[in-house]
């Protein structure tokens, strides 16, 4: 097989032995794979050829992009890792149509830069944007901080190019916003984590670049009060709130431990710290007035003042410069770093209806403490869309204890009508949760689709579907 792969993509693009190290191990160090090789095709046709070669030898194919995943989605023992890193061309940016056509190996930061050159914005934004690649974020239906206004990756995608398990190339590269000609096949592959085919390119939406931001760090009395702030700002701006992030006391305390260089916004640590950001493309809302004030910022300032007078907000700092805005975001985007070094851990990525987030936190913390007195919890959340990264740190590194803690958290999620998986994918780590929590009929349908498209079970086998 390796000889055939070398003929298809060139010997320099078939890696074995120590050369595979950076691909075989996930960035968190949780999974150490043993691939038979890493192949780095440079075109859709080369990907198709590699898939056909692997199928002829009965070898599983596992796609890998930026390797920033958190759920073991690229781990393999004996499979062929197919890296998309050379599939890194931006094929076109269409300014008037507000879309970009790019290959799966394009790093998100490059999409941001390409859009910015045309006065546009690619509104998929999260901490790993400097390494995460388009194919990976599509395969996991990644979210991030701007889902509140623009939706997750699925909502930003118009078209896909996919190599199927039999090596055929499926051209779904539509630039249409409406197309009712049968099943919307692209949605099968978004979020499928490479189990149904390999995404090689996509048509993604762009939006006008903001002319001004209004950003503030806020100390609120409670989570229900925080939602009042969100709703008032949405009403006042016509839905222009882009991010609404929640950092409770546990997060701020750990931030002070792990990243003292970033500082804390207030002299005290509030129970509820929020990062709210709105953006506008309307010139009248973005141009400074005669006093040098930006109208959108004044709107946020007015709402915060009203809520402080009512006792719902206890403190607030508005960003008066881009430097201050970046400092606020740096505290939020340090989330991945502040968890490093704390063990053992039970990390979750859950989503709740907005009005049940406070109830979830109260119940989940109580149940963790009941199971394991002395356990620590740290939460950070995209509060605007109900997505919480709730992590428990048990007092003992015992598999049974960690399983009980995880199931207790999942119980609360289920009681409140939530989901155990919001934006990180399923991969390997959430297979037990899928088995416990996913509707059995839904699992049957997923298995039917998997068998129909991949009868040999060679596309990232053992992931997503228990």
Q: What percent of the chain has pLDDT over 90?
A: 89
Verify that 77 and 57 share a domain, yes or no: yes
Verify that 407 and 392 share a domain, yes or no: yes
Q: Quick check: is 446 in a domain?
A: no
Mean pLDDT of 171-190: 96
As given in the structure block, the two tokens for residue 125 are 């934004």
As given in the structure block, the two tokens for residue 139 are 């395969």
Confidence of residue 69 (pLDDT cuts 50, 70, 90): confident
Quick check: 266 and 252 in contact, CB under 8 A?
A: no
Confidence of residue 321 (pLDDT cuts 50, 70, 90): very high
Verify that 200 and 114 share a domain, yes or no: yes
User: Which residue bears the tokens 């910022």?
Assistant: 297
DSSP state of 166: T
User: Which residue bears the tokens 């919480």?
Assistant: 388
CATH number where 277 lies: 3.30.70.2190
E strand or H helix that includes residue 346:
strand 346-347
Q: What is the per-residue pLDDT across 271-311, written as a single tens digit (0 to 9) for each?
A: 999 999 999 999 999 999 888 899 999 999 999 999 999 99
Q: What is the mean pLDDT of the chain?
A: 95
Q: What is the per-residue pLDDT across 344-355, written as a single tens digit (0 to 9) for each?
A: 999 999 999 999
State the alpha helices, DSSP H only, in 65-172.
108-117, 134-140, 147-150, 153-156
Query: Domain range spanning residue 48?
Result: 2-83
Q: What is the per-residue pLDDT across 24-60, written as a single tens digit (0 to 9) for each?
A: 887 777 788 899 999 999 999 999 999 999 999 999 9
- The pLDDT, as a whole number, for residue 71 is 84
E strand or H helix that includes residue 362:
helix 357-371
- The pLDDT, as a whole number, for residue 127 is 82
Mean pLDDT of 173-183: 95
Mean pLDDT of 114-129: 93
Measured distance CA(382)–CA(377) in Å, rounded: 17
Final residue of a domain: which of 305, 336, 367? Answer: 336
Final residue of a domain: which of 83, 107, 139? Answer: 83
Angle (nearest 5°) at CA 36 between 32 and 39: 100
Q: What is the per-residue pLDDT across 150-175, written as a single tens digit (0 to 9) for each?
A: 999 999 999 999 999 999 999 999 99
Q: Number of structural domains, the chain? A: 4
Q: What percent of the chain has pLDDT over 70?
A: 100
- The pLDDT, as a whole number, for residue 151 is 93
Sheet strands (E) in 348-417: 350-351, 376-382, 387-393
**Residue 204: pLDDT over 90:** yes
As given in the structure block, the two tokens for residue 220 are 């609120």
DSSP assignment of 202-230 equals EEEE-EEPPSEEEEEEEEES-HHHHHHHH
Verify that 417 and 347 share a domain, yes or no: yes
Verify that 308 and 361 share a domain, yes or no: no
Measured distance CA(59)–CA(165) in Å, rounded: 12
Verify that 144 and 227 share a domain, yes or no: no
Q: Quick check: is 463 in a domain?
A: no
Q: Quick check: is 435 in a domain?
A: no
Quick check: 89 and 109 in contact, CB under 8 A?
A: no
Select from 270, 446, 256, 416 the least CA-distant residue to 352: 416
Neighbouring-strand partners of residue 244: 276
Mean pLDDT of 382-386: 95
Verify that 346 and 310 share a domain, yes or no: no
Q: Quick check: is 436 in a domain?
A: no
- The pLDDT, as a whole number, for residue 72 is 83
- The pLDDT, as a whole number, for residue 412 is 98
Q: Quick check: is 441 in a domain?
A: no
Q: Quick check: is 30 in a domain?
A: yes
Final residue of a domain: which of 336, 360, 380? Answer: 336
Q: Quick check: is 418 in a domain?
A: yes
Verify that 297 and 279 share a domain, yes or no: yes
Select from 182, 172, 287, 271 the least CA-distant residue to 219: 271
Q: What is the per-residue pLDDT across 210-260, written as a single tens digit (0 to 9) for each?
A: 999 999 999 999 999 999 999 999 999 999 999 999 999 999 999 999 999
Verify that 244 and 325 share a domain, yes or no: yes
Residues 188-198 as b or e (16 or more Cβ within 10 Å = b): bbbbbbbbbbb
Verify that 185 and 141 share a domain, yes or no: yes
Q: What is the per-residue pLDDT across 126-149, written as a single tens digit (0 to 9) for each?
A: 888 888 999 999 999 999 899 999
Q: Quick check: is 443 in a domain?
A: no
Verify that 143 and 234 share a domain, yes or no: no
As given in the structure block, the two tokens for residue 226 are 């925080």
Sheet strands (E) in 239-336: 241-248, 272-280, 313-318
CATH number where 142 lies: 3.30.465.10
With residues binned 3-state (H G I as helix, E B as strand, rest as coil), the percentages for the chain, rounded to 5, are 40, 25, 35
**Residue 459: pLDDT over 80:** yes
Verify that 299 and 243 share a domain, yes or no: yes
Measured distance CA(115)–CA(107) in Å, rounded: 13
Quick check: 139 and 190 in contact, CB under 8 A?
A: yes
Strands 99-103 and 212-220: unpaired
Measured distance CA(50)–CA(38) in Å, rounded: 11
- The pLDDT, as a whole number, for residue 124 is 94
Please state, as a whole number, how many other Cβ atoms lie within 10 Å of the Cβ of residue 347: 17
Measured distance CA(337)–CA(306) in Å, rounded: 35
Q: What is the per-residue pLDDT across 210-223, written as a single tens digit (0 to 9) for each?
A: 999 999 999 999 99
CATH number where 355 lies: 3.30.70.2740
| Burial class (CB within 10 angstroms; exposed 0-12, middle 13-18, buried 19+) of 432 | middle
State the alpha helices, DSSP H only, in 172-289.
186-189, 223-237, 249-258, 283-286
Confidence of residue 375 (pLDDT cuts 50, 70, 90): very high
């Amino acid at each position: 097989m390796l000889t055939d792969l070398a003929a298809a993509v060139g010997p320099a693009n078939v890696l074995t032995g120590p050369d595979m190290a950076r691909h075989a191990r996930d960035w968190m160090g949780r999974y150490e794979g043993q691939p038979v090789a890493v192949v780095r095709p440079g075109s859709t046709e080369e990907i198709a050829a590699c898939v056909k070669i692997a199928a002829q030898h009965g070898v599983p194919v596992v796609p890998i992009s930026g390797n920033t995943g958190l759920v073991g989605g690229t781990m393999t023992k004996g499979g062929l890792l197919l890296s998309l890193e050379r599939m890194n061309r931006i094929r076109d940016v269409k300014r008037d149509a507000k879309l970009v056509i790019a290959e799966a190996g394009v790093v998100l930061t490059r999409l941001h830069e390409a859009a910015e050159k045309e006065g546009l914005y690619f509104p998929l934004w999260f901490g790993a944007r400097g390494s995460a690649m388009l194919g990976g974020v599509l395969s996991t239906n990644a979210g991030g901080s701007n889902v509140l206004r623009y939706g997750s990756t699925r909502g930003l995608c118009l078209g896909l190019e996919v190599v199927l398990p039999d090596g055929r190339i499926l051209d779904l590269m539509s630039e249409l916003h409406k197309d009712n000609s049968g099943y919307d096949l692209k949605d099968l592959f978004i979020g499928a984590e490479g189990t149904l085919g390999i995404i090689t390119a996509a048509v993604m939406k762009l939006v006008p670049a903001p002319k001004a931001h209004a950003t503030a760090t806020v100390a609120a009395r409670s989570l229900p009060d925080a939602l009042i702030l969100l709703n008032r700002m949405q009403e006042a701006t016509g839905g222009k709130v882009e991010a609404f992030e929640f950092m409770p006391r546990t997060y701020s305390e750990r931030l002070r431990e792990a990243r003292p260089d970033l500082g804390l916004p207030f002299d005290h640590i509030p129970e509820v710290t929020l990062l709210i950001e709105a953006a506008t493309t309307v010139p009248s809302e973005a141009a400074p007035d005669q006093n040098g004030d930006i109208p959108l910022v004044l709107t946020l300032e007015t709402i915060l003042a009203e809520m402080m007078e009512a006792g719902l907000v206890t403190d607030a700092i508005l960003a008066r410069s881009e430097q201050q805005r970046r400092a606020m975001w740096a505290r939020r985007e340090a989330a991945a770093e502040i968890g490093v070094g704390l063990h053992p851990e039970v990390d979750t990525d859950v989503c709740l209806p907005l009005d049940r987030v406070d109830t979830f936190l109260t119940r989940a913390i109580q149940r963790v403490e009941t199971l394991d007195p002395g356990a620590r919890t740290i939460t950070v959340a995209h509060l605007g869309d109900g997505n919480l990264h709730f992590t428990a740190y048990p007092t003992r590194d015992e598999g049974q204890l960690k399983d009980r803690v995880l199931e207790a958290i999942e119980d609360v999620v289920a009681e409140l009508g939530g989901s155990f998986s919001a934006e990180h994918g399923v991969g390997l780590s959430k297979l037990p949760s899928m088995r416990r929590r996913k509707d059995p009929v839904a699992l049957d349908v997923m298995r039917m689709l998997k068998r129909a498209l991949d009868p040999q079970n060679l596309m990232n086998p053992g992931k997503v579907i228990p």
